[in-house]
Amino acid sequence: MKRAIFPGSFDPITLGHYDIIKRGIKLFDEVIVAIGVNSAKKYMFSLEQRKQFIEDSFKDEPNVTVVTYEGLTVDFCQKHNVDFILRGLRNPADFEFEKAIAHTNRDLAPVETIFLLTAASTSYISSSIVREVIRHHGDYTLLVPDSVRV
């Protein structure tokens, strides 16, 4: 069984994340959307809200599991027998950052990172942009799945 983890903070999940997960389902038997917990980070949405947004978005996809975790992603992979890390790339800066992480992860554990390019229609969307739009009472609904439209 090919299992992949798609890690992130998902504060909140965006249409870019949604697209990567939907495409990942076609490549893997299971996609584990893993919400990393970082006590030093200030989030707009609670961990429970972020988890619920994702679960609601994929309620009809039995091959998507949503979990939370702390610590290194590769440690999660080894503990849960996951061989692949799924990552989305929006631009060259994402690639350079993600490449360094992928090399480090491979040094730490026998885990492969799989990169998917984001769709052109969502390549400009980031959670930080969505949070700014929300903070300033803008229309963020075109940037997120229906489950986030609160």
Q: Which residues are catalytic?
A: 17, 41, 90, 127
For residues 125 and 14, the answer to whether their CB atoms sit within 8 Å is yes
Place of tokens 């890690």: 7
Q: Is 105 in a helix, a strand, or coil?
A: helix
List 4's β-bridge partners, or say none: 31, 84
Burial of 71 (0-12, 13-18, 19+ CB in 10 A): exposed
